[in-house]
Chains A and B, each alone.
Chain A
Amino acid sequence: MSSRDRHESLEPFEIAVRDSLLARAAHPTPAPAVRRQLLQRAARQQRRFPWRSPIAWPGLFRENQTPPDHRAAQHYMLSVEGLFGPRLGWFSFNQLMR
């Protein structure tokens, strides 16, 4: 049933229910600070967890790099920075493995 059909078929009691909900929702709007804080928190989230960030995953297997012609087969090398974030490079990873 479309919303228009539904509106036409509402009983008086249902109209009262709808009107009371609309009356409560009519005036208040979220404060402008909510948007500003949201974008700040999202930016912080993106900086703090770069491996979870959307921009970290593309290029994880260096799929955008075309292999040189002299290679017989394409090697999928894992980018450690892509997995663990920029602070943990190959050197640190090597240290961890010892």
Chain B
Amino acid sequence: MSDDARLILRLQSGDLEALGQLYDRHRLPVFRTALAITHDQDAAEDILQEVFLRLHQYVQRVDTSLPLSPWLYRITVNLSYTYVTRRNKWRVPLEDFVDQLIGPANYSPEPEAERRDELRRMQKAIDTLPFSQRVVIVLYYLNDLSLQEIGEILAAPVGTIKSRLHYGRENLRRHLEGRGQTSEAHYEFT
């Protein structure tokens, strides 16, 4: 029996200290996934807390014979989706405006500055991806999960995940080359 399974059993019998230990074991991947998707530290902390609160609430339904991580990732992605869709309704593209203003002044010929600028442009490009593609890009490149594992987390066939990964990369290339519009229809997140 895995350590997670033992902790889950303790939590099922009402031991809250086990919840703290599960939090310590899984907080970083959950937090970083939420942060990569939402690009908002406060939101990522809220999502992190909510994920483990739901684990406590629904612990009786957790199957201890299965690994816990996919379950946690699934809740993380669902909560991030809720956050992103709510934020996009109200958000003014102020960041774009500010970047246009400060962009030229930020320019520096030094290699380190260029590298930082490249990373920043890539991060901005990732933020522009449709949610369904962004999630796959994050889980694949940041969390190092296989297509099969991502399919299980998102409850989608491997072919669909492969397609989202492909179009996600294409859209990133387009965005970085300044070709604008994203390709592929914007599928609703499932």
B-binding residues in A (CB < 8 A): 1, 3, 6, 13-14, 16-25, 28-31, 34-35, 37-39, 41-43, 45-46, 52-55, 57-58
B141 touches A35 (CB 8 A): no
CB distance from A2 to the nearest CB of B (A): 8
Which single member of B32, B49, B126, B141 contacts A41 (CB below 8 Å)? B49
The complex places the Cα of A85 from the Cα of B82 at a distance, in Å, of 33
Judged by a CB distance under 8 angstroms, whether B118 is at the interface is yes
Contact between chains at B41 and A25 (CB < 8 Å):
no
Residue in contact with B32 in the complex, picked from A25, A31, A55, CB distance below 8 Å = A25
Given contacts A21-B138, A30-B31, A54-B60, contact A38 B169 (CB under 8 A): no
In the complex, identify which listed stretch (B6-14, B83-91, B94-102, B155-163) lies at the interface while the others stay far away. B6-14
Inter-chain contacts of B60 with A (CB < 8 A) = 54, 57
Chain B, residues 110-146, CB within 8 Å of chain A (1/0): the string is 0000000011101100100000000001100110101
Given contact pairs A29-B31, A38-B19, A43-B16, a sample of 7 additional A-B residue pairs in the complex whose CB atoms are under 8 Å apart = A13-B173, A16-B119, A20-B118, A21-B123, A24-B36, A41-B53, A55-B13
By a beta-carbon cutoff of 8 Å, the part of chain B in contact with chain A is: 11-14, 16, 19-20, 23-24, 27-28, 31-32, 35-36, 39, 41, 44-45, 48-49, 52-53, 56-57, 59-60, 118-120, 122-123, 126, 137-138, 141-142, 144, 146, 169, 172-173
- Closest B residue to A53 by beta carbon equals B14
Consensus secondary structure, chain A interface:
helix
B49-A37 in contact (CB<8A): yes
Q: Which residues of B contact A17 (CB under 8 A)?
A: 122, 126, 137, 141, 169, 172
Chain A residues with Cβ under 8 A from B59's Cβ?
A: 54
CB-nearest residue of chain A relative to B19? A42
Question: Which B residues are in CB contact (< 8 Å) with A31?
Answer: 45
Q: Which residues of B contact A52 (CB under 8 A)?
A: 57
Bound CA span A38–B52, Å: 7
User: CB-CB < 8 A to B24: which residues of A?
Assistant: 35
Q: A13-B169, A24-B35, A24-B36 are in contact. Are A45 and B56 (CB under 8 A)?
A: yes
How many angstroms between the C-alpha atoms of A53 and B58 in the bound complex?
9
